[in-house]
Amino acid sequence: MREVLMNFLTNLIDVSLVFYFLLTVFKPKVKRSNLILGILILVLINTFNNTYFGLAIMWVFFIIITLTAILFSFISKVEIINSLLISFVATALMFIIEMVTLIIMVFSLSISSNDILEVSIYKLVGILITKVLYFLVIRYIISRINIKGFLNGRSMYPLTVILFFNLIIIYMTFILFFNLQIDSIFDYISIIGMAVGAIVFSWLVFMLMKRLMEQSQQELLWRVREKEYQNQRAYFENLQQVLTTMKAQRHDFNNHLTTIYGMIQLDKIQEAKKFILSLGEKNSTIDSLMDVKHPVIHAIVSIKKERAREINIPIELDVSLDDDLPYDYIDLSIILGNLLDNAIEANKKIGINLRSIKASLVQEEGFLSVCIQNSKPDTETYQESEGKSKTSKGDWENHGFGLYNVKQVVAKYKGLIDIKDLGKIFEVHIKLPL
């Protein structure tokens, strides 16, 4: 009974720490009651398996890890492949810390590995040291690494397979350590060799993971940049079209005046009024953008406003900016292009009388302040998932991923972003230091 209680306590600590690792990496919103229930279920299953099958059964060990990943995925809505991958990482790190700590105890206290396996003061001290060290590593190292930022579907499967085999090697080394009788200096060298080999192999796996993840991130960045360069080209073409239209308007100005004067002379006052109104509607888009000095912002806003006008979405603009801003043109197009595209798409799904977009871009107190507010269906909701923004729409690849790119740009300039889903209204507030 004493061994069962010790096993239960150890499993409770281990499962709680692995869940803490997963929560630190993914930062999901999880109900505490569901979390506690999931931990208790895993602890009971693990204690039962260890009691009836033993501590050194590999297939039992991997079943527990898989169940951990599945339960955490169910509780937190994290994708199962990502949950499994990080569960492997968490378990491998725990094994390495335990192995190094126990080897130090064996050498420094001149005891055997079996002394640590038995219920004794050595086992209690070993558990205390390893779990505290593991907690500190999570708290002060893992929490500062943006692991989830490197996760994407293309690289997860090969990484999971690699980590699976790495975990097998670490597990086998761990079991061999506890079953090796230390009778000579060769045995000590064997223990050190196994530990160093497992750690070096784990380090190589880590470096491989890092390289694959960085490559994946770079490919993603290239795709985003390519798309934004295409958008920028369209923006400048539109700007050229606006300038050409303005020149044509100036050229036709005298002809318009002559036409209006002729109507008045012929006492056709109503016709003259209609002609003036038609000129006002035709030039309203360009006139409203005359005060936008920045070329990229002028181009983006003019394109989006014209697109919104064509589908009966009213846009209120408040733009007060210098023509020289300390931001990359591509980054500005990522922010404004994605936010206004999302706003237009959201408005297309509601009635014409409910449609509305308000956009504000002003300089204030050393910041560029960007605020986009738009109407939307209250059936569609915004949520965070694994570091990416998601909506309840089926086409989140364009919408949620766009918001994710906006966040990346804001982070690049050490700015602030606040996203609010108010039911029928969606708001995004951004502040970038000038």
- Judgement on whether residues 87 and 217 belong to the same structural domain of the protein: yes
Contact between 313 and 347 under an 8 Å Cβ cutoff? The reply is yes
- Judgement on whether residues 154 and 28 belong to the same structural domain of the protein: yes
Tell whether 258 is covered by a domain. no
Give the three-state DSSP class for 147: coil
- The letter for the amino acid at 230 is Q
Tens of pLDDT, residues 378-413: 877 776 544 445 554 444 444 455 787 888 889 989
Contact between 151 and 81 under an 8 Å Cβ cutoff? The reply is no
Tell me the mean pLDDT in the region 68-90.
88
CA trace torsion 191, 197, 199, 203 (10° rounding): 170
Buried (b) or exposed (e) across 358-373, using 16+ Cβ within 10 A?
bbebeeeeeebbbbbb
Which of 208, 223, 238 represents a domain boundary (last residue)?
Answer: 223
Residue 339: pLDDT above 80? Answer: yes
- Judgement on whether residues 185 and 68 belong to the same structural domain of the protein: yes
Average pLDDT, the chain: 78
Name the band, by pLDDT with cuts 50, 70 and 90, for residue 114: low
CA distance 87 to 90: 5
From the list 107, 84, 319, the residue with the least C-alpha distance to 195 is 107
Contact between 197 and 123 under an 8 Å Cβ cutoff? The reply is no
Tell whether 413 is covered by a domain. yes
Buried (b) or exposed (e) across 189-209, using 16+ Cβ within 10 A?
eebeebbeebeeebeebeeeb
Beta-sheet pairing, 357-364 with 367-375: antiparallel
Among all chains, which residue has been given the structure tokens 């001149």?
110
- Judgement on whether residues 159 and 44 belong to the same structural domain of the protein: yes
State residue 1's pLDDT score. 65
Which of 223, 254, 280 represents a domain boundary (last residue)?
Answer: 223
CA distance 333 to 415: 16
User: What is the H or E stretch that residue 383 is in?
Assistant: strand 382-385
Which of 188, 223, 258 represents a domain boundary (last residue)?
Answer: 223
- Judgement on whether residues 185 and 322 belong to the same structural domain of the protein: no
Tens of pLDDT, residues 122-153: 778 888 899 999 999 999 988 887 777 666 55
Contact between 405 and 334 under an 8 Å Cβ cutoff? The reply is yes
Tell me the mean pLDDT in the region 407-426.
89
Least confident window among 3-12, 167-176, 414-423: 167-176
Among all chains, which residue has been given the structure tokens 């002809």?
255
CATH of the domain at 386: 3.30.565.10
CA 116 vs. chain centroid, Å, equals 42
Task: Give the residue with greater pLDDT, 271 vs 413.
Answer: 413
Task: Give the residue with greater pLDDT, 370 vs 291.
Answer: 370
Tell whether 422 is covered by a domain. yes
Among all chains, which residue has been given the structure tokens 């999971």?
160
Query: What is the domain range of residue 421?
Result: 291-434
- Judgement on whether residues 184 and 313 belong to the same structural domain of the protein: no
DSSP-assigned letters across all residues of 192-255:
HHHHHHHHHHHHHHHHHHHHHHHHHHHHHHHHHHHHHHHHHHHHHHHHHHHHHHHHHHHHHHHH
Residue 286: pLDDT above 60? Answer: no
- The letter for the amino acid at 411 is A
CB-based burial label for 60 (10 Å; 0-12, 13-18, 19+) = middle
- Judgement on whether residues 182 and 320 belong to the same structural domain of the protein: no
User: What is the H or E stretch that residue 4 is in?
Assistant: helix 2-26
